[in-house]
Structure 1
Amino acid sequence: MDSFHDEDFSSSVAWETGPPHHPTPSDPPSSSTQQQPYSAYTHDASPGLGGPDLGQAGFGGARSADPNSNANDAALAGPSTGQAVHDVQVRDGKVELEGTSDTFVSYLVCAKTDLPSYGSKTPSARRRYHDFVFLRDALVKDFPACVVPPLPEKHRMEYVIGDRFSPDFIERRRVDLERFLQRIGRHPKLSRTSIYQAFLESSEWNVYKHKHHARTTSTDDAPSGVLDSLSDTLLNAFAKLKKPDERFVVNVLSSHVSRTKLSSLSGDYEDLAVSVQGLGYLESGITEPLMRFERALVDFGSGVKDHSASASEGFLEHVHSLLAYSHAFKGVLKLRDQKQLDFEELSAYLSNVATERDRLAGGYGYGMGLGSYFKEKVESLRGGETDMSRAARLHRLDAKIKELQDAVLHAQETSSAFNDEVMAEHATFRASKRHEMKLLLGAFADGQIRMHKQSIASWDRTIPPLQRIYVES
């Protein structure tokens, strides 16, 4: 696999093709977008903004494309160094068409960028949840080897009880959508795609979506191709790799984690305070110091409870989001295994056909096995095999071998390129995860520091009287 160079990658794993498409000023504006003061959409400065034109599906679902398939986004992105889009924010959740059956929530998306292809250094546009779904689906389809961040789940209890337009739900959704766009902004490839640029600044987003959908639909496979790929996926689900690559083996670690509910800990402090209060009534000589100790315990328990209520919910939601991000990476690993499995199965099939051809050329008739034995007997009962029929079979087998050799070579190129892409994705994923964990744990530590600082004054008033208690020996 090491013999294949980087130029082979664009023909097997680079999935963006087709001529660049430029929206025209005559296109009607989008109904779900609002023009912001600094979100001018310059068409001349946006080559390739029309988005990708997908190639046809190859063996095992790999898309084959032109050698220049990434030219559009490469021209759009420029050098792939540094973060292309930063300071992405989702804010101002607004309920649109309230009181009608078409009510939805739109969000203002703002960002900063230094890419010259953008019409503004501070692009902005208003988008709804379905627009985020369209963006992610398009990125997953165009870049199957990239780890596309997940979106917040839509099937929540708020949709059942009709509370999805409440301020609390809109705020939680806003935070999740902002995290989704920030992860794409940190990705060195996804952040430089034409569809991401259109999402951030296009005032004609609905027109862009329709054109993108029509373009990708026209290049999709026929229904038979979809059924073939589905059957291949079902068969590969029950197959195992013969030579798994150790670089892509997921190690599952199990550990027992001590879980303590902070709310229960707050109750324990309050129970201890009640006990200390009772002790103060019994010990008349040290009643005042014990009462101060009891008040300090109550204050500290209240601080723990308040910190738990304010910090735990956001912390857990972010952790769940990171777990969903990890599952997206596992999905890419499964797709990589499928590419390797396609290569192994095609290689085994080629070996079997070559063996059958060698046996036929040597005069041994059909291959080994019970089925081949019965097939040979039936052929002999029908009058035997002539030299002409043997030559015709040899010709068919030679043609099949040539076809399989090309397929094996293509599958090997695809698998090798997919391996290189997944290794690069792993580095990007780890860097993004470390960045988020640093911010997450830093915010949690800051909350702990604030909580303990608030209790310092109470303990400073409590400790000196306790130290003055004299205990007779």
Structure 2
Amino acid sequence: MLGDDEDVFDSVTWESPNAPSYDNTPQDGPSGPGFRQSTDTDGPNDPKWEGYLITSVSDPVKELAETKDAYVSYLVSAQTNLRIFSTQNVSSRRRFQDFVFLRENLVRDFPACVVPALPDKHRLEYITGDRFSPEFMERRRLDLHRFLQRLARHPTLQRSTLVRAFFESTEWHVHMHQHMAHPPGLEPSPGIIDNISDTLLNAFARVRKPDDRFLSMRESVDQFEEGLVLSERLWSRVRNRTSDGNPESGEDLTADYHDLAVAVQGLGFLESGITDPLNHFSNTLLEFSALLRHTTQTTTDPFLVHLHSLLTYSHANRAVLKLRDQKQLDFEELSDYLSGVTSERDRLAAIISGHAGSSGLGLGSYLKDRVDALRGADDDRSRVEKMRKLDIKIKELQDAVTTAHETSDAFSDETLREQAIFQYAKEAEMKEMLGNLADGQIEFYKSAMEEFERIIPMVQRIRVHP
């Protein structure tokens, strides 16, 4: 794949699962745990894993407290049976900027891989100065934990030298400088002028011969993201109506149940004969209000955060599909350019041989000939010199077209593997996300049922005499 480091992969013997498991639970076996199954049914574009990598981010600590250079460091640890790691259990402390460096360089070194995005740094906490609050650090820790999990589930990224150094290196800053000075990629990065020209040229360009496989992939991504956006919108509405933290909105059920409990308690003071049952009922309503708030904080909010994170992960997948289209577009445009230069060379050859009519002169060629005539460059000597230059350009373009075609085909094959990897990761995350949501809802309704089952007999014993 583009950007692979040869010394990382020389000794790797690939083995691929038929149905990879992403619970990251080590299996017992003579060769160690991990993704190890038969490769008899694997296709050429199926993802292949060598082993497992179980990652975690924990213990956020504020470093250099009470100084202007204060930052938060996180303990990153991993358990693995991958051969590139020196031990099976590795750990180190990293700050957020280290995660940023890791992602940016993985994107550069592995352009065909779906590298997950990091949580957005430009948040309100960085403006208000609350980025060292325990709540913010815990949310950031969960986001970084999910980022490393996605890297660990990727069969190529999990074995990169940069990921290994991120977990193992005791001189991470030295390794960062060495990586910047000697990147594994052989191709130089394009300059800003090249990027601007490519953007302007391809702003309205479209692939003329789209591949049905990638069209269906793009349609699948569109449907998936549409479902995520709709789910996020609906659950945000549910969250706001359940516990939005604004009692004046009139849509906060937790506040409504709290107000109802206060009203029932006041009613108990007026009805001296049933004060005790009404007070118990009021306490039950208060407990139910607290359960609603607890479920929102521990179930609904994490679900919404995971939904948004999965949406950004899908955007990274869409970017790879767009880059594949760009590779095919580069090949098509180079082919057209080669065809135009070849036609011009043939036209000049026909004019020199006295068969100008057989060259199929168009309006553009006619005007070009008239301009050359006015400049005095319409003699055979200048045409021969021009043909010589065109022959050199044709040779260069033929090599460029061949390289572009090979790159486009290789990128297409890699994209097929990436889609399979993303599909596995997406299914694992959806299972985890919906499982946590279901567990939280079950716990909520079970606790609510217990509370109301305790109060029902007391309420039933109430007798009001006229």
The counterpart of 2:177, out of the listed 206, 210, 226, is 210
Which residue identity does 1:417 align to in structure 2? A
Task: Single out whichever of 130-139 and 293-302 deviates more from structure 2.
Answer: 293-302
Equivalent positions of 1:266-305 (< 5 A) are: 266-267=254-255, 299-305=287-293
The counterpart of 2:145, out of the listed 178, 181, 196, is 178
The counterpart of 1:428, out of the listed 404, 421, 429, is 421
Structure 2: distance between partners of 1:130 and 1:386: 64
Shift of 1:287: 11
Structure 2: distance between partners of 1:102 and 1:401: 57
Q: 2:68 matched to which residue of 1?
A: 101
Q: 1:262 matched to which residue of 2?
A: 242
Which residue identity does 2:328 align to in structure 1? Q
The counterpart of 1:439, out of the listed 428, 432, 446, is 432
Structure 1: distance between partners of 2:162 and 2:15: 17
Q: 1:36 matched to which residue of 2?
A: none
The counterpart of 2:448, out of the listed 447, 455, 469, is 455
Q: 1:354 matched to which residue of 2?
A: 342
- CA 1:372–1:435 in structure 2 vs 1: closer, same or farther (change >3 Å)? same
Equivalent positions of 1:80-159 (< 5 A) are: 81=16, 82=35, 84-159=51-126
Indicate conservation of the 8 Å contact 2:74/2:93, yes or no.
yes
Shift of 1:461: 3.8
Q: 1:311 matched to which residue of 2?
A: 299
Q: 1:53 matched to which residue of 2?
A: none
Which residue identity does 1:431 align to in structure 2? Y
SS at match of 1:95: strand
> Does 1:231 find its partner at 2:197?
yes
User: CA offsets per residue over residues 67-95 of structure 1, 9 Å max, x none?
Assistant: xxx42121365535426343311112122
Which residue identity does 1:246 align to in structure 2? D
Structure 1: distance between partners of 2:284 and 2:255: 14
> Does 1:79 find its partner at 2:23?
no
- CA 1:80–1:163 in structure 2 vs 1: closer, same or farther (change >3 Å)? farther
Q: 2:208 matched to which residue of 1?
A: 242
SS at match of 1:123: strand
Which residue identity does 1:200 align to in structure 2? F
Structure 1: distance between partners of 2:159 and 2:11: 7
Q: 1:21 matched to which residue of 2?
A: none
Structure 1: distance between partners of 2:8 and 2:83: 13
Indicate conservation of the 8 Å contact 2:327/2:407, yes or no.
yes
Q: 1:378 matched to which residue of 2?
A: 371
Shift of 1:123: 0.8
- CA 1:278–1:102 in structure 2 vs 1: closer, same or farther (change >3 Å)? closer
User: CA offsets per residue over residues 95-143 of structure 1, 9 Å max, x none?
Assistant: 2222333222211111101123322110111111111111111110110
Which residue identity does 1:262 align to in structure 2? T
Indicate conservation of the 8 Å contact 1:146/1:425, yes or no.
yes
User: CA offsets per residue over residues 204-226 of structure 1, 9 Å max, x none?
Assistant: 21111111111139967487x44
Structure 2: distance between partners of 1:282 and 1:173: 51
Structure 2: distance between partners of 1:131 and 1:448: 37
User: How does the TM-score come out when normalised to structure 2?
Assistant: 0.76
SS at match of 2:155: coil
Q: 1:198 matched to which residue of 2?
A: 165
Structure 1: distance between partners of 2:415 and 2:189: 29
- The total of aligned residue pairs comes to 404
User: CA offsets per residue over residues 293-325 of structure 1, 9 Å max, x none?
Assistant: 776555434322321133222221111111111
Q: 1:28 matched to which residue of 2?
A: none
Shift of 1:228: 2.0
Q: 1:167 matched to which residue of 2?
A: 134
Which residue identity does 2:98 align to in structure 1? D
Structure 2: distance between partners of 1:191 and 1:408: 33
User: CA offsets per residue over residues 32-57 of structure 1, 9 Å max, x none?
Assistant: xxxxxxxxxxxxxxxxxxxxxxxxxx
Which residue identity does 1:305 align to in structure 2? R
Structure 2: distance between partners of 1:442 and 1:86: 22
Structure 2: distance between partners of 1:465 and 1:299: 16
Structure 1: distance between partners of 2:270 and 2:285: 19
- CA 1:404–1:220 in structure 2 vs 1: closer, same or farther (change >3 Å)? closer
Shift of 1:245: 2.3
Which residue identity does 1:234 align to in structure 2? L
Shift of 1:352: 1.6
Which residue identity does 1:199 align to in structure 2? F
Indicate conservation of the 8 Å contact 1:76/1:192, yes or no.
no
Task: Single out whichever of 259-268 and 314-323 deviates more from structure 2.
Answer: 259-268
Task: Single out whichever of 276-285 and 187-196 deviates more from structure 2.
Answer: 276-285
User: CA offsets per residue over residues 249-307 of structure 1, 9 Å max, x none?
Assistant: 32334576654332234455567778999999999999999987776555434322321
Q: 1:9 matched to which residue of 2?
A: none
Structure 1: distance between partners of 2:208 and 2:271: 76
Indicate conservation of the 8 Å contact 2:3/2:185, yes or no.
no
Highest RCO, 1 vs 2 (Cα 8 Å, sep ≥ 6): 1
Indicate conservation of the 8 Å contact 2:53/2:158, yes or no.
no
Structure 2 residue runs without a partner (length 5+) = 17-34, 36-48, 244-251
How much is the aligned-residue C-alpha RMSD, in angstroms? Answer: 3.4
Shift of 1:460: 2.5
